[in-house]
Chain A
């Protein structure tokens, strides 16, 4: 083409088509020519921000320090059903641990893992350090939420000639006077550089300049406070922002603050308020469902159904309802939900794994093995491979082929050495072969790896009881009872043992 486009127009067009790399390079060239071009400068900050942008609502990561050392909840011993921190008392309804696997004591496995998924929390610092690193959140737990800092440094490394903006040399007060520049600059500082202090300074100056009338700046201030752990200040900002303008985002942020303060009922009320303003808003409905899922499985399913009525391609709702049906004796219906996900173009290891399981338990034998094969080929890391082999082991047990099951569980362990369920099931298979010592060793490993699972404890107790070692049996049975208090067989065993201890 003989005629060249205006570079700024082209950069803008790149930005609108979300070609951020090209856009930022082009802006860089414009800025080399005319260093004082504010439009190009602002466009480049926006492109750089968009490259690493993660929606702040979904970034909710608690490090070990926040879980253990942070004391934001007001009530230490809340009434059952009013707290997210007491899983044993707050969990009502839904299938028992004998049917549905649990992650940490009391929380059933969820159908959809979000970055903010926290299933149960450790009691003490020591316990938090000893348990596997992915046991509480969707990613490995760090000491404080230090990932944000890492994010910033990592993105800087990609720029060969150093950072684009040197924050320490900016005169924030000057930029706060120019709302057009200030907003993109704030987003850059917050999302790209992760420099909370400077972001907060800028936001404070800007909101002052806007005479506290701009809801957007208030939300940003609240976000900064939230990140810094000042929840009450954040709450204040969000509330005052809601006075200026009703926005779905603000409701979600405020609910996030309340969740962190362990006030689920307040959060639910807030969501209901939000739904009055925005009837049928999917994110609000989904927020209700998420909170219910941590407290009451049966209501959660109802809430997720409401979500599906509004948006019938909502992946989270589909997955949660599907897993709920699977664990309440309806694998056929679960299969339909997962097939819906497949039709929507979701294509990953977990989905095929679930499809395989549903097919097997719904007696659709033609699809079972091929689904698992697909899952194996799509697995991205060793843990996923291990999980698929583990489920294949269950299928093998379903067809009565004990040797195949044995091999499958061995493969699970080869891929993931910390797979407590596989240790437990291997132990049961060893028991069937009468290798008592081996079974005991495996069960002990399993119970060390996953103290929240009742099965290895109970099996160990039953085994010890059989060979006559009643002390070990009693200790294990007690642990099993704490993991699953209403387990009838454990109760019976403990009663028996107590009788042994009492009579001469």
Chain B
């Protein structure tokens, strides 16, 4: 082997003498395929320049009949991003030997890379007729069907591919189809199988973790994300997801250290800055939170979550005009969310516009199904306005929601419990037994007793929980493979993202 190398390297620049000596040595080789091994050697060493020179010489010698030289030339073109040229060359190959499955597969692959999925499917089908047992054909057919939005056929083909040969890529595509159909459970099953077969693939681990996060199974999510981080400690996706989980549980400092790692690799990522700022918010560093959020908003002006958080922080800072501005912008971008309308109403109440506040609460009640806070705040507003009947009505609605939530073991914000009891007393519905978990009874005395100031603490502190979950949700949604398009930033003042598609929830 070593001998050969020493002998062959001088031939590369195309000097003719060593070649002749080689000819004498092995005259029995057919002229067409004579130097395929050399081409191959250069190709797999990624020495494309030399490889191209050899190919050119070979093609010149054989007048273009050397199939392998054309084939490798096409592969090199494809690696350089010249798909159209590579397609033409692969077609030449297919003409040279029409029975070869490889050539057909490559033609189809080139068509696929050019975005001509229908044509690719046809060629793949032809190839499949020649070879039934090839996982690549099945896999690629599945991917083509995925782009053509024929999910049923795609799933069938991908399952075939899995039966022939289990590949991570196939699992990922199958999971993607499940997610596109909105079937998270199915996707989780697929990814579980995938992780079993290749437990060190961080991509798979991260996606599985994110899916668990989306379902609210935090233990498993943490496990998988942790695994992913052990294999690749600077994985941006995993860091963001793990950080948002820590935030949900209040470990702000730990989350911040995690984010510090990610900030080096992705300095202009809006979700990252959003989560960082919510960490600061949790640590009650409001000014830092605002400046981080504003940077995120500058980089992604169409992201309603950042706007929501901005509104929330400004409510906490009691800057109601700015809060109104950001919240109304968020509502314009995401019109069907109860929480947004509730916060908007809180801002409006403080801007001395109770009429619009009331209308906003009405919208919030329509859109919201399970958050008792909406009704509580509404009840307080109505009570302060003197409309006791409506207040009572909302209070009862809130009780209903609280009862429902208690079944699902939700813990309530002590401040909310406190306020609920007060308004209950004020409405003379008695300290009904809704809040039996009053382990924090002692706190009641510390609260300011006047009902007029009630709204501010109300809106704020409980909303903190909201912000956290929204930050967490961010991680989820951002990184589902469904949102194909990433974020882009624009120059001039703000930046516009090509909006990632929203996940199935929210």
Q: Name A's B-contacting residues (CB within 8 A).
A: 96-102, 329, 357, 361, 363, 365, 390-391, 394, 397-402, 421, 424-425, 428, 431-432, 453, 455, 458-459, 462-472, 474-475, 478, 487-489, 492-493, 497-498, 500-504
Contacts and interface: CB of A to CB of B under 8 A. Distances in A.
Contacts of B112: 468
Given A96-B268, A98-B489, A504-B109, 18 more contacts: A361-B294, A363-B322, A391-B492, A398-B494, A399-B325, A399-B328, A400-B331, A401-B332, A428-B496, A431-B499, A453-B491, A455-B488, A467-B115, A470-B113, A471-B81, A472-B115, A488-B265, A501-B113
25 contacts: A96-B267, A99-B299, A99-B491, A101-B492, A102-B491, A329-B294, A361-B493, A390-B492, A397-B302, A400-B333, A402-B333, A428-B496, A431-B499, A459-B488, A463-B485, A465-B485, A470-B83, A470-B113, A470-B114, A487-B268, A493-B486, A501-B78, A501-B79, A502-B79, A504-B105
A275 to B, nearest CB: 35
A492 B307 contact: no
Contact of A398 (B136, B329, B491): B329
A401 B333 CA distance: 8
A498 B301 CA distance: 30
A421 B492 contact: yes
B298 interface: yes
Contact of A500 (B113, B489, B499): B113
Chain A binding surface SS class: helix
B291 interface: yes
B224 interface: no
Interface string B102-123: 0001100100111101000000
Given A400-B307, A402-B332, A468-B115, A98 B299 contact: yes
Contacts of B321: 365
B126 to A, nearest CB: 17
B329 A400 contact: yes
A489 B109 contact: no
A458 B298 CA distance: 18
Contacts of A468: 112, 115, 117, 147
A462 B492 contact: no
B371 interface: no
A466 B146 CA distance: 12
Contact of B490 (A329, A421, A488): A421
Most buried by B among A428, A432, A493, A501: A501
B14 interface: no
A391 B301 CA distance: 13
A400 B330 contact: yes
Interface in B260-302: 265-269, 291, 294-295, 298-299, 301-302
A399 B488 contact: no
B486 A397 contact: no
B491 A98 contact: yes
Contacts of A503: 169
A53 B485 CA distance: 56
Contact of A428 (B114, B319, B498): B498
Contacts of B115: 464, 467-472
Contacts of B329: 398-400
Contacts of B113: 470-471, 500-501
Contact of A504 (B117, B136, B267): B136
